[in-house]
Amino acid sequence: MSNKTRVAIVTGASRGIGKAAALRLARDGMSVVVNYAGNATEAGKTVAAIQEAGGRAFAVQADVADETAVAALFDATVREFGGVDAVVNSAGIMRLGLLAEFSLSDFDQIHRTNVRGTFVVAQQAARHVRSGGAIINLSTSVERQALPTYAAYAASKGAVEAMSLILARELRGRDITVNAVAPGPVETEFFLSGKDPATVERIAKLNPMERLGQPNDIAEVISFLAGPARWINGQVLYVNGGMN
């Protein structure tokens, strides 16, 4: 499938997996809208990298849980690029802690971004994505691992998976695929924060490849789902080097 005239919105695209996905989709030939929550400098670097490689991109600030801001994000995309063909829900936050001791304030923040944010973006995607398009939500492999301290985060991603599978069926007849990508541990600032080297090494060895994933490992799968993978729909794809 040619992506030359196709358009993608990538949320949380200023850093990490979101940035890698934006760069990869641009390399595939798509025009890319780089969404960010607050780091305009990093979002600008993503846009600059795409433009320097000959691609088309611009950045839009929007809190993914704010329905008015997200509607404006989609409206800006349509005005600038004429439509929307792929939406990658990459924005997310993670807080860790034992369930019995977990801050309910942190719990609410996680669910505001990861659950409400995915719902709000998916709602606009369902209204705007053109025939032949794709909606790709980011989940996590840790949900299957049932690791202590991940209860709040894994619960939010369980909700993301449920939404993805149901939306795929609700879009019956429109030739739009909806899937969730569930990465294992990926070497990003998001993952490394708060972990000592021994913990990182232990986690890296949980999969038979004995390494952490790289953002490009995940972007490769997102690219596949956003482009040629028209017969994969309503699925959760675990991208974790065989950790499960």
What was the pLDDT predicted at 121?
A: 98
Q: What is the mean pLDDT of residues 60-82?
A: 98
Q: What's the mean pLDDT when you consider all of the chain?
A: 94
What was the pLDDT predicted at 81?
A: 97
Q: What are the structural domains, with CATH classification, of the chain?
A: 7-185+215-239 (3.40.50.720)
Residue predicted with more confidence, 199 or 70: 70
Handedness of CA 44, 228, 127, 82 (dihedral sign): positive
pLDDT over threshold 60, residue 2: no
Q: What is the mean pLDDT of residues 53-61?
A: 97
Q: What is the mean pLDDT of residues 106-122?
A: 98
What was the pLDDT predicted at 3?
A: 46
Q: What is the mean pLDDT of residues 37-55?
A: 96
Predicted confidence (pLDDT) per residue in 115-143, tens digit: 999 999 999 999 999 999 999 999 999 88
Predicted confidence (pLDDT) per residue in 190-229, tens digit: 788 778 899 889 888 889 998 998 999 999 999 999 999 9
pTM of the model: 0.94
Q: Are 90 and 138 in contact, with CB atoms under 8 Å apart?
A: yes
What was the pLDDT predicted at 1?
A: 43
What was the pLDDT predicted at 147?
A: 85
Q: Which two tokens stand for residue 234?
A: 């309503």
104-108, 142-146, 210-214: range with lowest mean pLDDT: 142-146
127-141, 143-157, 166-180: range with lowest mean pLDDT: 143-157
Whether 153 is a known active-site residue: answer yes
What was the pLDDT predicted at 206?
A: 87
What was the pLDDT predicted at 104?
A: 98
The angle subtended at Cα 89 by Cα 5 and Cα 212, nearest 5°, is 105
pLDDT over threshold 70, residue 156: yes
